[in-house]
Amino acid sequence: MIDADYVQSHVSAAWRIMATAKGDALARMDISADGFWLSFWSILIAMPPMLLSWVAAAPDFAAADDSYSSVVLRLGFADLVSWILPLAGLAMVSSLIGMRQRFAPYVIATNWGSAILVWLAVPPALVRLASPAEQDPSGLLSLIVFVLSLVLGWRITHGAIGRDPMYSTAIFIGMTVASILALVALHALLGLPGQP
């Protein structure tokens, strides 16, 4: 179990990397083997806004005979697997793409950074929940949050990897595409007919 100071230190460092697109704040993170595994506690930090997003999105994915709770659980499972699966894939090819030395710092930084990015999605989810079922005024806000998340996601990728921008961009695009493909495949596998 990790304490609040540990979480605050790592979230703060992740935000610093996002703000600067430089890896200086990695020095404030635990880059050990223990730190690698502890970084997955960030999923727990991200759980409240993720749960909110699943609840808000559930009506779009529910078939006529689906229970609401079943849809929320399946959305949650798909999101969690699509968080972890691309990292596992990257681990398998990290040596081939020259990233073996930077793999652990990348995972640690982006795990904690992802917790921040998930919290950014709270406002559009709240707008969506508060709106009538036939209306969804959160579209523009969701787009703004999505673009901001892409920008911050690239910046933390670049800062954590510490190589040239083209290399960071290739890794960022590859991981983003892998996450989307995993999510789409899981939605199909789990019988979620809506759009992710």
Domain boundaries, the chain: 4-189
pLDDT of residue 26: 95
114 pLDDT more than 60: yes
Neighbours of 146 (CB within 10 A): 13
- Residue 18 structure tokens: 């996002």
Helix axes 139-161, 103-120, angle to 10 degrees: 160
pLDDT of residue 64: 64
Query: Mind listing the pLDDT tens digit for each residue in 13-31?
Result: 999 999 999 999 999 999 9
- Report the C-alpha gap between 159 and 179 in whole angstroms: 20
How far from chain centre, in Å, is Cα 28? 21
- Identify the band that residue 132 occupies on the pLDDT scale cut at 50, 70 and 90: low
- Identify the band that residue 109 occupies on the pLDDT scale cut at 50, 70 and 90: very high
Choice between 58 and 159, residue whose per-residue pLDDT is larger: 159
Query: Mind listing the pLDDT tens digit for each residue in 134-160?
Result: 566 777 888 999 999 999 999 999 999
Residues 6+ apart with CB under 8 A from 113: 14, 15, 17, 18, 152, 153, 156
